[in-house]
Amino acid sequence: MAKYDELPGKDHIIRHVPYGKLRRDENEKTIGIEFTAFQLREEDQGNLSTTWLEYTQRSRDEQLIESLKYIRTSRAASAKSALAIAKVEKVKSVCVPRRVRVLHDPETGNPAHAIVTSFPTDEVALLEALASDVWSEFILVGQVDASGKAR
């Protein structure tokens, strides 16, 4: 796949979410993602940074381990942070009518890097829908690390 090609709708993208943007219950158990995980910074230029899970054609566990390795080339990912996973076609359907696109955008150190363009960062209710319904699957980084060590 070439740079800026659109990812297949059935594939998945991962967003790394730090501890402070994870949703916890009253017992401090992580139960999901906060909408704040999708607030962009100025330097993001309207694009949400993600990693393409299916970049490598391996088992799901191996894809998660590989994706985490790529993510760690640009940022720290502690055991209590998480990888949130979303299906590409669901991201696009929930963001209608913004017509977002999910594009392969390889970077140095992360050949699986992907961006969601025209991301609706100011529409908080939409960010909540993305957090609660689209990026609803997540795995703690500590679990991915443990699975990698077990191999």
Residue 5 or 44: the one with the smaller Cβ distance to other proteins is 44
N-term to C-term CA, the chain: 29
| Radius of gyration of the chain measured on its C-alpha atoms | 15
146 part of the interface to other proteins, by CB under 8 A: no
Q: Report the distance separating Cα 142 and Cα 139, nearest Å.
A: 8
Query: Which of 29, 145, 34 has its CA nearest to residue 84?
Result: 34
122 part of the interface to other proteins, by CB under 8 A: no
Which string of x and - marks every residue 86-115 that binds other proteins (by CB under 8 A)?
------------------------------
Choose which of 62, 129, 137, 148 interacts with other proteins (CB under 8 A). Answer: 129
How near is the Cβ of 68 to other proteins at its closest, in Å? 16
DSSP state, residue 107: B
Q: Report the distance separating Cα 74 and Cα 88, nearest Å.
A: 23
Residue in the block written with tokens 């696109």:
101
Residue 49 or 63: the one with the smaller Cβ distance to other proteins is 49
Instruction: Give residues in contact with other proteins (CB under 8 A).
Output: 18-26, 28, 31-32, 34-36, 39-41, 75-76, 78-81, 124-129, 131-133
